Amino acid sequence: MSFREHLQDVCTNVDGAVACSVMGIDGIEIDTLVSEAGDLDLKSLLVEYSNVFRNARDAADVHQAGGISEVSINTDKLVTVARLVSPDYFMVVALKPEGNYGKARYLLRITAPKVRSEL
Amino acid sequence: MSFREHLQDVCTNVDGAVACSVMGIDGIEIDTLVSEAGDLDLKSLLVEYSNVFRNARDAADVHQAGGISEVSINTDKLVTVARLVSPDYFMVVALKPEGNYGKARYLLRITAPKVRSEL
């Protein structure tokens, strides 16, 4: 499967998903699928969130809290779950607040190794 | 109930919880209960994570993604869930990776308004 097919798979199978992306920790997008943008500039937001992911990784690293696996940022408009795919890349799904957060976490967990094998 | 009693309540009722804290967004601790530190300096880590919380709030704000409600940072040693209590304060629970993440989120959600009423 291509990146795009993995992204499509996650977006299709998570109720409320509006976007899914594979990104570099440095904020450079590999591929992003936006299924329902609404009034948000999701791509720019996800780039901004990559800084947050990197900060969280560095904070955990400094304090020997172990390797980062997942970061979620939830606002009253959007829930995002990001999961590390490799040391340099992560995968993120954005969904509506009423979407299926547990399914998003589950699908990221099982999809990340498949994406990693294609990097 | 005092802050300390709310923290105790969360630590007692979340399987795997190792610490619970009320902190300022600026990283200044109001009260922290560490029930099981292990080999981690949890207080310093939570201060560092407050920067991450602030960064996430600012990123969401810049992109009109709505007010931040919750940020989770999960590593292979520690899961943390932080919830905004008021514009300037948040409450965070840290738990072992095998702990009850759903219960932690639930208890933060219902405890945050109680803590807010005492700020």
A interface test, pick of B41, B50, B63, B70 with most A CB neighbours within 10 Å: B63
Query: Which residues in chain B have Cβ-Cβ distances shorter than 8 Å to A67?
Result: 75-76
pLDDT for the residue numbered B60: 94
Query: Which residues in chain A have Cβ-Cβ distances shorter than 8 Å to B55?
Result: 51-52, 55
- Within 10 Å of residue B38's Cβ, how many Cβ atoms? 10
Query: Which residues in chain A have Cβ-Cβ distances shorter than 8 Å to B37?
Result: none
**Whole-Å CA distances, A104 to A2, A9, B96:** 19, 11, 21
- pLDDT tens digits for A14-41? 999 999 999 999 989 999 999 886 777 8
DSSP class of A36: -
- pLDDT tens digits for A37-65? 677 788 899 999 999 999 999 999 999 99
Per the CB < 8 A criterion, the answer to whether B42 and B36 are in contact is no
CA distance B110 to chain A (A): 16
- CA distance linking residue A81 with residue A94, whole number of Å: 7
Mean pLDDT, all residues of chain A: 93
Interface residues on B facing A, Cβ-Cβ cutoff 8 A: 39-41, 44-45, 48-49, 51-52, 55-56, 59-60, 62-78, 102
pLDDT for the residue numbered A119: 85
Residue A51 in tokens: 């800084």
- CA distance linking residue A30 with residue A4, whole number of Å: 10
Q: Using alpha carbons, select from B114, B78, B63, B109 the residue that is nearest to residue A42.
A: B63
- pLDDT tens digits for A59-87? 999 999 999 999 999 999 999 999 999 99
Alpha helices in B1-119 (DSSP H): 3-13, 42-62, 101-116
Q: For B110, how many CA atoms within 13 A lie in the half-sphere containing its CB?
A: 8
- CA distance linking residue A54 with residue B109, whole number of Å: 26
Strand order in the sheet with B89-95: A29-34, A17-24, A89-95, A79-86, A68-75, B68-75, B79-86, B89-95, B17-24, B29-34
pLDDT for the residue numbered B3: 82
Q: Out of A49, A52, A63, whose CB is closest to B48? A: A63
B51-72: b (≥16 Cβ within 10 Å) or e: bbbbbbbebbeebebeebbbbb
Mean pLDDT in runs of 10 for chain B (119 residues)? 88 95 92 84 90 94 93 96 95 96 96 92
pLDDT for the residue numbered A90: 95
Q: For A33, how many CA atoms within 13 A lie in the half-sphere containing its CB?
A: 17
pLDDT for the residue numbered A89: 95
pTM over 0.90: yes
ipTM confidence: 0.93
Query: Which residues in chain B have Cβ-Cβ distances shorter than 8 Å to A76?
Result: 66-67, 69
pLDDT for the residue numbered A2: 81
pLDDT for the residue numbered A5: 92
**Whole-Å CA distances, A87 to A12, A67, A83:** 27, 9, 11
Q: Out of B49, B66, B72, whose CB is closest to A77? A: B66
pLDDT for the residue numbered A40: 79
Residue A94 pLDDT exceeds 90: yes
**Whole-Å CA distances, A75 to A28, A96, B30, B55, B115:** 23, 9, 24, 13, 20
DSSP-based three-state secondary structure for B102: helix
